[in-house]
Structure 1
Amino acid sequence: MGTPTGALWREHLRELVVMGEPTRVLDIGSGPVVACCSGVASVLWDWAPVVELLRGEHRVIVLDRPGYAPGQQVSETLPTLDTEAARLLAVLTALGATGPVTAVGHSFGAAVVEAAARLHPGRLGSLVFLDGSVPEAEGADWAHDGARAAGRFRHGTHPAVRSTSVRVLWQLVGPAVSVALVPGRRGVARAMGGLRAEGSSSNTLLASLRDLAGYVACMNRLRELRGRMPLESGVPLTVVAANGRVPRPGLSRWARHVLAQAARLAQETSVRRVVVSRSGHFVMLDQPRRTAELIAEAAR
C-alpha cells in the first residue's frame, strides 16, 4: 500500500444509521460484492491489505459494529447474534448490494456471517470463515446467565472504562497495546496515517469489552441455530484455519478445532478447508495475499 491509500479509503468511508445506530462502512471498488465482517476488538482498518488486493475487480464492503468508530457512543446493551446478522444484511440493503454476496467473517465475524446465512436464506451467495469462532472450544455454556453478564457490564465495566482516569491511561497506551496484540497493524498504520487517534480512543476499548461480555451468549445461540436452521446446500463455504506464525510440523490445537468444525459443517453444504501457515489469528493481516486469493476464488 502506498501513501495515497489512506486518503483514498477515507473518500469511500460512510456512516450509515442502521437499525437505529450509526455504523461506519467502507464501500470501495467495483465488481462482484464482497462483504467483510470483523471480530471482537477489530475494526475495518484491519482489512486494508486485503481490500487493496481485491478492490480492482470487486466491490468490497467492510463494516464496523456500532461503537468502534471514534466519537460513537457505546451502547450498554450486549450484542446478540441475531441482531448482528440482521445488521450485516441491513448494511448491504442500504448500499444496494442485494444480489449474490460473498460474505467473509473473521473470528466472531464468522459467527455473524453464519447466523445471517442460517436466519436469512437466499441473501448470501458464498461464505468465507477466517479463523472463525468455535463454540465448543471457547466458552459456549448452556448455563451461562446472559442477563447477569449484561448487568455486570452495565453497572461495572461501562462506568469504569468511561472514567477520566481510564480514558487518559488508554490514550497513552492504547495504540501500543493494539499493535502489540496484532503486529500486522503496524504496517497498516504507516500506510493509512491518522490511526493513532483511533487506537487511543477509549470507546474502542469499551466496545471490545462489551462484545466480550456478550460472547458466550452469542456462542450458545450459534450452537442453537446449527441444530435448528441448516445452511443452504447450494451456498459454498471456505473455512480457513491459521496454524500459527511459527512453522510447525503438524497442526496446532486451535487449527484442529477449526477443521473439526468445518467437517461438521460439511454435512450441510460443500466446504473447502484451507490451512494457512505462518499466520496468527488475524489472517487478513498476516497473510493478505493468500487471504485475498481465497476470497476471490469464493466470489467466483
Structure 2
Amino acid sequence: MAVSVESLGPTREVELPEGPIRFHERGEGPPLVFVHGIIANADVWRHVVPRLAEHYRCITPDWPLGGHELPLREGADFSLFGLADLVDRTLAALDLDEVTLIGNDTGGAICQAVAANHPDRLSRLVLTPCDAFDNFLPLPIKHLQLFGRTTAGLKVLAESLRYRPVQRLPIAFGLLTRRPIPANIMRSYTAPLRERADVRRNFAHLVRAISTRYTLEAAETLSRFPRPVLLAWARQNFFPLDHAERLAGRLPDARLRIIEDSGPFVTEDQPRRVAALIQEFLSTTGDRAAR
C-alpha cells in the first residue's frame, strides 16, 4: 500500500463472517470512521486524518470496493444495503459506539444506507460529494457496470488504468479531481484489480449489484435520522450540488458547507478545508452528540 504509518496509523485487521477487513488507526478520543468509494482505499483520507487525529480516534478501513487487497469470500452481499451491513458489523466487531461516520464517493452512499438502516452506533454523519438519489453510478463512469460484469472485462479495465493519460480521462479519474492524483496513490487504488483475480471477482459482484433503487430508498429513510449531519460539498457536476441541497432539506439536523476549487475528491483537492469543516462540525455538535 502507498500510505505511510505516519499518515493513517498502523495497519490492523478485523475478521468478519464475510472475510477480513484491513484498517488503519491513529489518535485517541471519540471515534471517526471513514468510508471511501470504488477503486479507492484508505489513502483517500491520508491528508485529512493527520489533521484530526490529535483529538479523535481515526479509523480508516480499506473497504472491499476494488482498491482492497483482502478479498471477501464468495457469497458476500455487495449490494448497497449489504455493504451497509458490513460497515455496521465492522463497527460492532471493533466495539465502537457514538461514531462519526464520514463518507466520500460511493462511500457516501454506503454511509447514507448505514444511517438509514443502522443508526444506533452513530452520533453524527459527514457526507462529502457522493452518490445519492438517482445518481448511482454517475453517468461518466456507468461503463464500469458493463466492463465490471466479467472478470475478463475488469482485467482489461484495470490494465488500462495503469497509464497516466488514461487515468485523467473523464471516464476514469479525470472528473474526480482538479489536480492529478499522485502516481503512487493511483497505483494503490488500481493495482489490486490488475493483480488479484479474487479482487476482480469481488468487484464484479459489486457492480452487478449497483442500483438506484437502493440510494433512493436510503434517501427516503434519512428523513428519520435525528443526529447532526454535515454535507461538505464541492461545486461540480459529477455529484451535483443540488443533491446535497436535497439531502440537507430531507435531514432533520443538517448543515451544508461549500468547498471551492475542488472536484468530487475533496480530500485530494482541498484536504485542509475538509479537515477544518469536519473539526468545526465536531466541536460545535459536541464530542458526544446528543441522541
TM-score in terms of structure 1 length? 0.74
Which residue of the partner structure matches residue 238 of structure 1?
230
Distance 2:39 2:247 in 1: 24
Q: Is the Cα contact below 8 Å between 1:153 and 1:213 reproduced in 2? A: no
Q: Report the CA distance shift for 1:178/1:11 in structure 2 as closer, same or farther (over 3 A).
A: farther
Inter-partner Cα distance in structure 1 for 2:234 and 2:191: 28
Q: CA RMSD, aligned part only? A: 3.5
In the other structure, the counterpart of 2:269 is 286
* Counterpart residue number, 1:185: 181
Equivalent-residue separation in structure 2 for 1:96 and 1:178 (angstroms): 42
Change (3 A) 1:9 1:75: farther
The alignment covers a number of residue pairs equal to: 264
Quickly say closer, same or farther: Cα 1:186–1:80, change in 2 above 3 A.
same
Indicate whether 1:212 and 2:195 are aligned.
no
Q: Is the 8 A contact 1:175 1:200 kept in 2?
A: no
After superposition, what is the alpha-carbon deviation per residue over 1:106-140, rounded to whole angstroms, capped at 9, x for unaligned?
A: 12211211211221232100111101212234569
- Residues 80 and 71 of structure 1: is their aligned pair in 2 closer, same or farther, counting only changes over 3 Å? closer
Q: What amino acid is the match of 1:56?
A: E
Please name the residue that 1:249 is paired with: none
The 3 A distance-change label for structure 1 pair 173 and 227 is closer
Judging changes above 3 Å, is the alpha-carbon distance between structure 1 residues 276 and 18 closer, same or farther for their aligned structure 2 residues?
Answer: same
Task: Give the CA deviation at 1:277.
Answer: 0.9
- For structure 1, which segment, 64-73 or 14-23, has the greater mean C-alpha deviation from structure 2 after superposition? 64-73
| Alpha-carbon distance between aligned partners in 2 of 1:96 and 1:60, rounded to the nearest angstrom | 14
The reply on whether 1:222 has 2:215 as its aligned counterpart is yes
Structure 1 11/112 Cα, relative in aligned 2: closer, same or farther at 3 Å? closer
3-state DSSP class of the match of 2:224? coil
Alignment of 1:30-109 (within 5 A): 30-66=28-64, 68-70=67-69, 72=71, 79-98=78-97, 100-109=98-107
Cα pair distance change 1:259/1:82, threshold 3 Å: closer
Identify which range, 9-18 or 43-52, moves more after superposition.
9-18
CA contact (8 A) 1:40 1:212 kept: no
TM-score normalized with structure 2 length: 0.76
Task: Please tell me the residue identity of whatever aligns with 2:191.
Answer: S
Greater Cα offset, 102-111 or 196-205: 196-205
The AA in structure 2 aligned to 1:232 is F
Return the alpha-carbon distance in structure 2 between the equivalents of residues 34 and 109 of structure 1.
14
